[in-house]
Amino acid sequence: MHCAPPAPETWTSHDLNRLARAASSDHSGSTWQAVLSRLVDIHPGAQRALLAIRQGTHFEVQGVAGYPADLLNLRLPLHTERAWYGQSESAWHSEQCRQLSGADLQGHLGRIETLFGPQDHYRTLREQGDLDTLQANLLQPFTCNGEVVAHLNIDGVEGLPSLPEHAVNLLRTLIQRSWTASADAHLQERNELWEMARLGDLLRPITDPHELLQTGLRRVAAAFGATGQHSAQPSQLDPTRSITEPCLDGLLTLTWSAPPFSRPLAQLSLRSLADRVHHAHLRGQQRGSLLESRNHALELIGAALEARDLETQGHTRRVAHWAQQVARAADLDPEESEALHLGALLHDLGKLAIPDAILLKPGPLTDQERAVMQRHPGLGAALARRVPHLPDSALDVVRSHHEHWNGGGYPAGLRGEEIPRPARLFAVIDTYDALTSDRPYRAAWTPQAAWAEVQRLSGQQFDPWAVQLTAEVLGSVE
């Protein structure tokens, strides 16, 4: 049923001013007690009131007067509230009030409960709201942008009049303001959740804990409109405008100019970032320990080669040390630097498979013996592949450090920049140390003679860039 024809005006301008003052003094967008209490005081026949505001697929009780406060935040399904209104769709969207009383009201309640069966919110309303004694109910819908975003229930005695138009207009303004603020807050929260998901994708590839901290803190702060900081001892903080999380012997801090709306979500994001940084730090420590153990093992392999007199004493240690110096001078990226160093440690591993009669022969090798000797880079790469956590780029150094810039090397006859850059650098380092060391078939050359020979082979056997760079580094060492 629709409301009866409007009753004679029962509100005065003074009443409307009283309601407006209640709204401006106590209405905060989420607390409606003062507004509804004043409404019940003013409206003839009213005994209590309940306001439910739309939240997605349900309404939520956000204000009560005369009802127990336990009803606040009660969720009311959209379909049951639409049935409780009971009028046409056009009436619902045109904000026509609905009024029921006496037997009609109790019959309507019974039909809804029969239609939908047991409902938790009905049970709560019956227990908290004494629906069995309800005499009259007025339901006033409110719309925003053509959608019903709230409805006001006023309970009282039979003959409860409809609200005057100016009261409806004032309440609509307040409800729309509250609903818009709530919608904006939910939109902001959704955007922040989306930023959190994007943040996870952004940070996942980062393994360095300090880079992870800096990048993550910058993005979290931007997502929540805060200022981010990591410090050992932050300055005095206002707890209403800042949050902190322990991280790497310090504190991550987010600070706002005013108390934030999404404080719990921001705290969760900051805690998640701190956890990521902590685990990255632990992984780095574990990886560092593993790599240190691996490098010690590779040094032992080099020492084992020298113990069999397969190389001049200290060759592996020297070329590995020089490789690190050259890598720094060449400004290689971390992957190439590691490849050059590890490849230096393992570069002659394949000689373990070469017979002593060939490897230690004091005179020139025959063509057949030379062919066997030239197999050692490939054999070394095959053996080195079994070393745990050894990058493929280090295998390139083992396999290709005897390739020549002009294509005349072995085992694959690579030419120019087909040869991996770390292998080109190491070829110069290895040759220089070999020339300046005693071998079974000749005495050591002087450093000057060795550099003259390397320079002579620049552009033929060696990359000219690698020769120049290595000469600058090792020449300063000599």
pLDDT tens track for 62-96: 999 999 998 998 999 998 899 999 999 999 999 99
By DSSP bridging, strand 46-55 and strand 58-65 are antiparallel
Residue 349 is predicted with a pLDDT of 86
Q: Which residues contact 336 (CB under 8 A, 6 or more apart)?
A: 327, 393, 421, 422
| CA distance readout (Å), 336 to 12, 205, 301, 340 | 85, 19, 22, 6
Least confident of 34-43, 277-286, 349-358, 394-403: 277-286
| Contact criterion met (CB below 8 Å) for 291 and 386 | no
For the residues 434-452, what does the mean pLDDT come to?
A: 85
Q: What percent of the chain has pLDDT over 90?
A: 37
| CA distance readout (Å), 16 to 39, 41, 166, 174 | 9, 12, 8, 14
How far is Cα 52 from Cα 36, in angstroms, rounded to an integer?
A: 12
Residue 186 is predicted with a pLDDT of 54
Residue 8 is predicted with a pLDDT of 42
Nearest to 51 by CA among 186, 184, 179: 179
Q: Which residues contact 284 (CB under 8 A, 6 or more apart)?
A: 207, 208, 209
Bridge partners, residue 52, by sequence? 61, 151
pLDDT tens track for 374-415: 999 999 899 888 877 788 899 999 999 999 999 999 999 999
Instruction: Determine how many CB atoms are found less than 10 A away from the CB of residue 335.
Output: 13
Residue 27 is predicted with a pLDDT of 44
| CA distance readout (Å), 344 to 167, 385, 460 | 87, 15, 22
Residue 449 is predicted with a pLDDT of 92
Q: What's the mean per-residue pLDDT of the chain?
A: 83
For the residues 166-192, what does the mean pLDDT come to?
A: 71
For the residues 182-199, what does the mean pLDDT come to?
A: 58
Least confident of 42-56, 93-107, 255-269, 372-386: 255-269
Q: Would you give the DSSP letter of residue 420?
A: -
In this predicted structure, the answer to whether residue 476 has a pLDDT above a threshold of 60 is no
Residue 464 is predicted with a pLDDT of 96
In this predicted structure, the answer to whether residue 132 has a pLDDT above a threshold of 60 is yes
How far is Cα 221 from Cα 242, in angstroms, rounded to an integer?
A: 11
For the residues 262-274, what does the mean pLDDT come to?
A: 80
Nearest to 342 by CA among 307, 292, 271, 382: 292
Nearest to 402 by CA among 354, 365, 361, 348: 348
Report CA 159 to chain centroid distance, whole Å.
60
pLDDT tens track for 305-334: 666 555 556 788 889 899 999 999 988 888
How far is Cα 325 from Cα 136, in angstroms, rounded to an integer?
A: 91
How far is Cα 41 from Cα 360, in angstroms, rounded to an integer?
A: 110
Indicate the SS3 state at residue 147: strand
How far is Cα 400 from Cα 381, in angstroms, rounded to an integer?
A: 9
More confident residue, 148 or 442: 148
Instruction: Determine how many CB atoms are found less than 10 A away from the CB of residue 389.
Output: 10
Backbone φ/ψ region at 185: left (φ over 0), alpha (ψ -120 to 50), beta: alpha
Bridge partners, residue 254, by sequence? 228, 243
